[in-house]
Amino acid sequence: MLFSQGKKLKVTLLYLFVLYSDQHSAQPETGQVKGIVGKSLSFPEKVLKSGSLLYGGLGNIAHVYPGKQSNTNLENRFKNRLHWNNVTGFFTLTDLQIDDSGVYTVENSDEEKRTHTFQLTVYYVLSKPQVTVHDNSPCTVVCSVENRREVTLSWYRGEEKLNQTSSPDLNITLSLPLKVDEQNRDSYRCEAANPVSKETAVVPNYCIESDPSKVTDGIERTRDCLIISVICILVASGLVGLAIYLKKRRNGHSHADSPERKQDDIQYAEISHIKPADNQVSNNATG
């Protein structure tokens, strides 16, 4: 009697376990989909003839009848942003916003009723992080970026991750300091990343010398070079001016001693012809 009751209990427990397993496996799996603020997203489940799209606790937000679509638009937030393509059969949500994140369910009634659930998460595209020099001795830089959903901020040297930070507080700016090795300055990069975007920044060029005396020496060398350059320009200008003056003076003397100038200084006397007297002519004839 006890054996029979124990056998029945085992059968009952086995039946309940199988029933529970069937019910659990029959529940639709939730697919993870990611969207970007301002972009569009299509839920990857076709509804070619009839079906519905449900959102969280709002229930049915769109229903498809054979050959047409009817948007219930329970909230103005979906107005003119929710569409159904009668060719592809996909529901598409345009101009995504952060608060569009949530659970969406596509019910397909084309042949036999099927249900597919999607967890949509909408992200911002990250801006480029900013790297600033915090101290020159030794060279310490700080990388910062505006915090968004699931953002991580990291420092890398080559492919090696040096450190990383993140925060659930979306109202702050993420910051991450780093002491830079001068010998490997060009190998550092700061990376801001989330599931839909990635941006990087590098160490500024003026973070080169960590020793303030070296920086001062460099400034003094630059100043000395500028002074020498100015002096050289002034000397060159003076030499050019002197050469021009001497050339003009030499040209002036040459012009004064030229044959043309000497001819101009000669004075010519006027030649006059004297007519002989009549008595002189007669004497000459008699003689």
Residues of the chain with CATH 2.60.40.10: 31-123, 130-202
**How high is the pLDDT of residue 177?**
94
| Sheet strands side by side (includes 59-65) | 30-36, 114-123, 102-108, 51-55, 59-65, 68-71
Model confidence pLDDT, tens digit, residues 9-35 = 454 545 444 444 444 444 557 799 999
Residue 127 pLDDT greater than 60, yes or no: yes
Instruction: Name the pLDDT band for 152 (thresholds 50, 70, 90).
Output: very high
- Regarding the domain delimited by 130-202, which CATH topology (the fold level of the hierarchy) does it fall under? Immunoglobulin-like (2.60.40)
The whole model's pTM is what?
A: 0.60
Model confidence pLDDT, tens digit, residues 67-110 = 666 665 556 778 889 998 888 989 999 999 999 999 999 998 87
Helix (H) or strand (E) holding 223: helix 212-256
Beta strand pairing call for 114-123 and 30-36: parallel
**How high is the pLDDT of residue 78?**
87
**How high is the pLDDT of residue 4?**
54
* Superfamily of structural domain 31-123: Immunoglobulins (2.60.40.10)
Q: What CA–CA distance (Å, rounded) separates 176 from 192?
A: 11
